[in-house]
Structure 1
Amino acid sequence: MFAASAASAQEARTATPAEEDKIVVTGQSEQPSSSEVSRQARSITQGGNFRRSALARFERRLCPGVIGLTPDMAALVIDRIRFNAAELGLGLTEDDGSCTPNLVVAFVKDGQAELNALAKDHGYMFNSLELHEKRALLAETGPVRVFTSTLERTRDGMPIARNEGGDPPVAQMWMAHSKIYLATREDIEFVMVMFDLEKLKGKTLVQLADYATMRGLARTKPVDEDGQPLDTILALFDQDGAPTDELTSFDRAYLASVYDSIPNLPGSVRLMGVNRQLELQAAAEERAARNQR
Structure 2
Amino acid sequence: MAALPMLIACGSAIDARAQSSPPSGDEIVVQAELEKAERQVEALTREITRRPRTDKPISKRYSAVCVGVYGLSADFAHVLISRIEENARTLGIHVLGKGCQVNTLVAFTNDSRAEIERLRKAEPWLFETLLDYEYDRILRGNGAAQAWHSTQVKGADGKPFRTEMLPCPPACPPRAAEINDQAFASNISQQLRVDIEGSIVVFDNAHVPGKSIQQLADYASMRLFAPTDDVSNGAPGEMSTILSLFAEDGDAPDGLTAFDRAYLGALYKLPATARGAAIHDATWAAYRQGRYEIAGSSDTD
Q: TM-score w.r.t. structure 1 length?
A: 0.78
The aligned runs of 1:205-244 (5 Å cut-off) are 205-223=213-231, 224-244=233-253
* Cα distance, 1:134–1:160 mapped onto 2, change above 3 Å: farther
Contact kept, 8 Å, 2:60 with 2:196, in 1: the verdict is yes
The amino acid that maps onto 2:119 is: L
* Cα distance, 1:239–1:36 mapped onto 2, change above 3 Å: closer
2:62 is aligned with 1:73: no
Corresponding residue for 2:259? 250
Cα deviation digits, residues 137-167 of structure 1 (max 9, x gap): 357651111121111111122224899xxxx
Corresponding residue for 1:104? 105
Contact kept, 8 Å, 1:116 with 1:138, in 2: the verdict is no
Contact kept, 8 Å, 1:46 with 1:219, in 2: the verdict is yes
Structure-1 separation of matches of 2:292 and 2:188: 32
What stretches of structure 2 of length at least 5 have no aligned partner?
1-24, 165-176
2:185 is matched with which residue: 167, 170, 175? 175
Contact kept, 8 Å, 1:112 with 1:141, in 2: the verdict is no
Structure-2 separation of matches of 1:131 and 1:183: 26
Contact kept, 8 Å, 2:234 with 2:248, in 1: the verdict is no
Structure-1 separation of matches of 2:185 and 2:153: 17
How far the C-alpha of 1:101 sits from its partner, in A, is 1.7
Number of equivalenced pairs: 259
Corresponding residue for 1:60? 63
The amino acid that maps onto 1:210 is: D
The amino acid that maps onto 1:76 is: V
How far the C-alpha of 1:270 sits from its partner, in A, is 2.5
Corresponding residue for 1:14? none
Structure-2 separation of matches of 1:125 and 1:39: 31
**Could you say what the CA RMSD is over the residues aligned between the two structures, in angstroms?**
3.1
Structure-2 separation of matches of 1:183 and 1:171: 8
Contact kept, 8 Å, 2:43 with 2:236, in 1: the verdict is no
Contact kept, 8 Å, 1:256 with 1:277, in 2: the verdict is yes
Cα deviation digits, residues 51-108 of structure 1 (max 9, x gap): x4311111101221111111110010011111111122222222xx211121111111
The aligned runs of 1:119-158 (5 Å cut-off) are 119-137=120-138, 142-158=143-159
- State the identity %: 30
What stretches of structure 1 of length at least 5 have no aligned partner?
1-23
Corresponding residue for 2:203? 195
Corresponding residue for 2:170? none
Corresponding residue for 2:47? 43
* Cα distance, 1:261–1:137 mapped onto 2, change above 3 Å: closer
Q: TM-score w.r.t. structure 2 length?
A: 0.76
Structure-2 separation of matches of 1:121 and 1:91: 29
SS at 2:266 equivalent? helix
Cα deviation digits, residues 189-215 of structure 1 (max 9, x gap): 111100011111211110000000001
The amino acid that maps onto 2:126 is: M
